[in-house]
Amino acid sequence: ISTAGLAWTGGIAPPGSYRAIPGYWQQTADWLAEQSRDRPAPARALVVPGAPFADQLWGLTRDEPLQPAATTPWAVRDAIPLTPPGAIRALDSIQRDLAAGRGGPGLAPTLAQQGVGYLVLRADLEPSSSRSARPLLVAQALRDSPGITRAATFGPPTTPPAADGFVVDNGLRPPLPAVTVYRVDGAT
């Protein structure tokens, strides 16, 4: 059988293929749903860092891994925002601060005012192609922001692959839980 024949019949997987979304994404969605169980309306989760397309270390989904699993509202800053311009500007401002590792006392109230009750920090984005902020800097910004607390982690410690004895990205990509959820105080 030729390579063309294999490709035509689906015998060759395209680059970035994956077999399944890792279970930790379903665990994250289930945890968010559980937190909303006794609330009149569920708080929105904001997935950070934003990325044009969901390109993870485990595969290229294009859509967010949380999308098929979540039963509660969530948002992300991606290449095709489906929100009004004011919301896009607000998300861009938040993303810039998180990407720079800058937290502060105004972050939690700003997020809460926008109905964001949780931040879902993902460390499983592919750094070479996702064009996203470093998860370590986002985690630093969240730690430095009063009113934002670490609430749960899901998945194994995740870091881009590297050859033994080599430092990747000046040490700014250490192993972090695949997903860390932070709670935002005061969200309605």
Predicted local distance difference test score (pLDDT) of residue 6: 44
Confidence category of residue 168, pLDDT binned at 50, 70, 90: low
Tell me the backbone φ, ψ of residue 11, rounded to 5 degrees: -80, -15
pLDDT at 13: 47
Question: Does the pLDDT of residue 9 top 80, yes or no?
Answer: no
pLDDT at residue 28 above 70?
yes
Above 50 in pLDDT, residue 12? no
Integer Cα distance of 73 and 44 in angstroms:
5
Vertex 112 angle, CA 179 and 34, to 5°: 50
Closest CA to 179 of 68, 65, 76: 65
What is the pLDDT of the chain when averaged over all its residues?
Answer: 83
Q: Which residue has the higher pLDDT, 123 or 164?
A: 123
Measured between alpha carbons, how far is 168 from 153 in angstroms, rounded to an integer? 23
Of 9-18, 19-28, 81-90, the range with the highest mean pLDDT is: 19-28
Q: Is the pLDDT of residue 2 over 50?
A: no
User: pLDDT tens across 58-75, in order?
Assistant: 888 878 889 899 999 998
Phi/psi at 18 (nearest 5 deg)? -145, 155
Greater confidence (9 vs 101) lies with: 101
Q: pTM of the predicted model, to two decimals? A: 0.83
pLDDT of residue 166 exceeding 80: no
179 band by pLDDT with thresholds 50, 70 and 90: very high
pLDDT value at 129 more than 50: yes
**Run of H or E residues at 140:** helix 135-143
